Amino acid sequence: MTELVARNPDYRQITEQVFLAAPFVQSLGIELLDLGPGWCQTRMVITERHCQHHGYVHAGAQATLADHTAGAAAGTLVAIDETILSVEFKINLLRLADCEELFCEGKVIKPGKRFSVVESSVWADALGGERLVSKAQLTMAVVASVN
């Protein structure tokens, strides 16, 4: 794919701020690991509160990680007066997630002026590791910032 380019030189600080300013993301302990134009990597340390009744990470917690990371990946490409909203996503839960950490990478597969399409991969234990526990395909709208 052709190299993606950030239009806002301050995209790193803005993305860091989005993670800190989102209470749901903070309450789940989702951390920003690294990012660049069109991609973002995150981590979520698993505790009991992330789990469903069998003790596995709840599909909704995995979906939150996948969605937020994808939004951040799409956000690296927008202009200074634009922001990202989730339009829709689809996620497959591939394996039962019984692990201490989940890692996620979101990658923009098609940037656009109106919306960007992103893929998020969620792994147990290691970024890019053997245990891919969920995979999502997401559509993110690029909208004018309100403030």
List residues binding its own copies (CB under 8 A).
1-2, 17-18, 21-25, 27-28, 48-54, 58-61, 63-65, 67-68, 83, 85-96, 109-110, 114-115, 117, 119, 130, 132, 135, 137, 139, 141, 146
Task: State which residue, 79 or 96, has the beta carbon closest to its own copies.
Answer: 96
Angle at 31 between CA 1 and CA 128, to 5 degrees: 45
Confirm if 133 and 123 have CB atoms less than 8 A apart.
yes
Tokens of 2: 């052709």
Q: In whole angstroms, what is the distance from residue 106 CA to residue 44 CA?
A: 14
Largest Cα separation within the chain, whole Å, is 45
CB of 146 to its own copies, least distance (A): 7
Minimum distance from CB of 144 to its own copies (Å)?
11
Q: Cβ 74 to its own copies, closest distance in Å? A: 13
**Residue with Cβ nearer its own copies (41 or 46):** 46
Q: Measure Cα distances from 122 to 21, 52, 70, 114, 128 in Å.
A: 23, 17, 11, 26, 8
CB of 26 to its own copies, least distance (A): 8
Q: Which is nearer to its own copies, 37 or 95 (CB)?
A: 95
